Every structure is written in structure tokens, then in C-alpha cells.
């Protein structure tokens, strides 16, 4: 293909975009609305996953050792625990540390009546996981280590977080699928209208020997342009809205500020910008290419 032909096809695609401006604007508006909803859902899902991960970091498994176990063997067990792939961090709490923490939190001045450490055999490891869904696997591993007498874990909490992550994934896939189908449908309608308007022109082009690529490419370029513009508009709107919405939520629900934390807008948009642009251009290309092949029959 000649360079001049390539640029001619691009020019025709741009002209076609503005020639059917009302249909183009309607398609851009609807795609923008779909990608706006996608961006909102994406921001909510990513923030929710961030909160779940932050909460997961507080879920731990605690192991207690047999009475009289030498300190060297405890440290050896600790090394085995830290080497497990499911373990993000393991903090050792000695009997003295456990007693000091208990006195400070629960006894206060009444702790002076104790001359000995009643938690002498309470040395333990607080184990934090990099994936809370792997808790059963980790517990099974810990129970096989000689010297460990008890493993404390919270199965309900771990299952709740695992279920939440699974639900978020399925909901996200469902929403994205619906929005993509709607957007492709709209692009398809716009291109179909363009084909109908230029039906005689296309027929003449074929009679004088125009190739299939030469006839189809302006419609495909038109769809790509519509998709690209339709992806940029919602990005700008969401960027302007994000910080204001977060600020409103934080101020409105100040009591929950210690429980919820939001990602900064730049961290959200580092992934959202390329995803939205690729989706917009992909929707435009796919919708127009399929429609042109179906209706032109060239």
C-alpha cells in the first residue's frame, strides 16, 4: 500500500467522523458514559481491594510452643515459618514481652502484686500472610512442626476476606462485559448508518477497482477515532471528581477514617488511563471492523 493511499484513508475516516456528526456525538457520548461507569466501578473495586488487603494484613495465625522448649529450637522453628511461601511476616513475642503487653493493657497498677511471670509458657510467633486464602495450607504446615503445641487462627475472618475478593472479581468481570457489549453495539450502529449514507459512493468505488482495504479502512478509522475520544472524556471527568468525592466521604464519615483508606488519584490513574484508552480504541476498532465486514460484503 502506498503512503499516499494510507493517508488518504485516514483523511476519509476523519471526514466521515465529522460528516455524520450527530451520530458521532451520540456514539461518543454513549461510549463515554459506558467508560465513565467503567472508571467509577474500577475506582471503587480497586479501592475496596486495597481496603481488603489492608484488613488482611491484620489477620494473623499465632503459634505457641511446648513448655520448656529451648530458645534455640524456638528460633529454628521461626526460621522454618518465615521460609514458607505463604508467610509475609512472622513476629516473635517472648514470654516477657507477652506479660509486659498484658500488664499494660489490662492490669495497670494491679500488676505489682505479681512476683513471677504467669505467662511463662506463652512465647509465640504472630504470623501474617501474603494471601489470607492460604491460611488452611499454612495451618496444616505449622501443625506438622515438632515443638508447636497449639495453632490459633480465625477461619471465619479468613473465609470472609477470600469470599469478598472472589465476589469483587466476578462482579468486575460482569460489569466490564456488559459495558463492552453496549459500546460495541453503539459503534456498530454508527458505522452502519455511515455505510447506508455512502452506499452509492461505495458501489462506484468498487466498480472502478477499489480494493476491499481501501473501502473498509475509513469506517474502521472512524470507529477508532470515536472510541479514542470516547475514552478521553470520562478520564478527565473522573480525574476532576475523584479527590472531591474522597474528601466528601472522609469528612462525611469521619468516624470510619481509621478503618477505611483510599488510594491516591495518581495511583488509580496509572492503570486506569491505559486501560480506558485501550478499551476505547479496541471497542471502536472491533465494532467498526465487524460491522463493515458484515454490511459491505466486499
Whole-number Å distance between alpha carbons of 130 and 16: 53
Last residue of a domain, one of 138, 153, 168: 153
Residue 42 burial class via C-beta count within 10 angstroms: exposed 0-12, middle 13-18, buried 19 and up: buried
Q: How far apart are the first and last CA of the chain?
A: 18
Residues 139, 237, single domain; the answer is no
Whole-number Å distance between alpha carbons of 254 and 274: 33
The string of DSSP letters for 110-121 reads GGGG--S-TTTT
Residues 23, 66, single domain; the answer is no
Whole-number Å distance between alpha carbons of 180 and 175: 9
Closest CA to 224 of 292, 165, 128, 164: 292
Residues 36, 134, single domain; the answer is no
Q: Yes or no: say if 63 and 258 are a contact pair by the CB < 8 Å rule.
A: no
Helix, strand, coil distribution of the chain in percent, nearest 5: 75, 10, 15
pLDDT at residue 24, rounded to an integer: 76
Residues 168, 34, single domain; the answer is yes
Residues 177, 251, single domain; the answer is yes
CA distances from 97 to 120, 183, 201, 225, 291 (A): 10, 60, 86, 65, 71
Closest CA to 57 of 127, 155, 156, 141: 127
Residues 174, 48, single domain; the answer is yes
Residues 286, 172, single domain; the answer is yes
pLDDT at residue 111, rounded to an integer: 55
Residue 243, Cα to own-chain centre: how many angstroms? 18
User: Could you tell me the residue range of the domain that residue 104 belongs to?
Assistant: 60-153
Q: What is the mean pLDDT of each run of 10 residues along the chain (298 residues)?
A: 65 71 76 82 81 71 82 86 86 74 60 58 80 82 86 68 71 76 68 64 70 75 83 89 82 66 84 87 76 62
The DSSP symbol for 94 reads -
The DSSP symbol for 2 reads -
Last residue of a domain, one of 121, 137, 153: 153
CA distances from 8 to 20, 175, 194, 293 (A): 19, 38, 18, 20
Residues 182, 49, single domain; the answer is yes
CB count in 10 Å sphere of residue 274: 10
Q: Yes or no: say if 223 and 284 are a contact pair by the CB < 8 Å rule.
A: yes
pLDDT at residue 296, rounded to an integer: 62
Q: What is the CATH number of the domain that holds 132?
A: 3.30.70.3040
Grid coordinates belonging to 122? 506463652
Whole-number Å distance between alpha carbons of 11 and 221: 9
Whole-number Å distance between alpha carbons of 50 and 271: 14
The pTM score is 0.63
Q: Yes or no: say if 227 and 23 are a contact pair by the CB < 8 Å rule.
A: no
pLDDT at residue 191, rounded to an integer: 62
> How many structural domains is the chain composed of?
2
Amino acid at each position: 500500500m502506498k503512503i499516499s493511499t494510507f493517508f488518504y484513508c485516514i483523511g476519509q475516516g476523519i471526514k466521515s467522523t465529522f460528516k455524520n456528526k450527530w451520530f458521532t456525538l451520540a456514539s461518543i457520548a454513549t461510549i463515554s458514559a459506558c467508560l465513565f461507569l467503567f472508571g467509577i466501578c474500577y475506582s471503587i473495586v480497586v479501592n475496596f481491594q486495597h481496603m481488603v488487603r489492608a484488613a488482611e494484613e491484620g489477620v494473623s495465625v499465632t503459634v505457641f510452643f511446648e513448655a520448656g522448649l529451648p530458645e534455640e529450637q524456638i528460633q529454628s522453628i521461626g526460621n522454618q515459618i518465615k521460609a514458607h511461601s505463604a508467610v509475609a511476616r512472622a513476629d516473635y513475642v517472648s514470654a516477657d514481652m507477652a506479660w509486659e503487653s498484658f500488664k499494660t493493657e489490662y492490669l495497670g497498677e494491679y500488676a505489682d502484686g505479681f512476683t513471677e511471670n504467669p505467662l511463662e509458657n506463652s512465647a509465640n510467633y504472630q504470623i501474617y500472610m501474603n494471601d489470607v486464602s492460604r491460611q488452611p495450607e499454612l495451618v496444616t504446615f505449622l501443625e506438622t512442626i515438632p515443638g508447636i503445641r497449639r495453632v490459633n487462627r480465625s477461619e471465619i475472618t479468613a473465609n470472609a476476606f477470600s469470599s469478598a475478593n472472589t465476589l469483587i472479581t466476578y462482579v468486575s468481570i460482569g460489569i466490564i462485559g456488559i459495558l463492552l457489549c453496549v459500546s460495541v453495539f453503539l459503534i456498530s450502529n454508527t458505522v452502519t448508518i455511515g455505510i447506508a449514507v455512502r452506499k452509492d459512493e461505495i458501489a462506484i468505488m468498487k466498480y472502478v477497482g477499489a480494493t476491499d482495504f481501501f473501502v473498509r479502512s475509513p469506517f474502521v478509522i472512524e470507529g477508532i477515532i470515536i472510541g479514542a475520544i470516547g475514552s478521553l472524556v470520562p478520564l478527565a471527568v473522573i480525574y476532576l471528581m475523584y479527590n472531591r468525592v474522597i474528601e466528601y466521604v472522609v469528612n462525611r464519615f469521619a468516624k470510619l477514617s481509621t478503618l477505611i483508606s483510599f488510594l491516591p488519584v495518581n495511583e488509580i490513574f496509572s492503570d486506569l488511563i491505559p486501560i480506558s484508552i485501550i478499551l476505547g480504541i479496541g471497542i471502536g476498532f472491533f465494532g467498526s471492523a465487524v460491522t463493515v465486514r458484515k454490511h459491505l460484503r466486499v
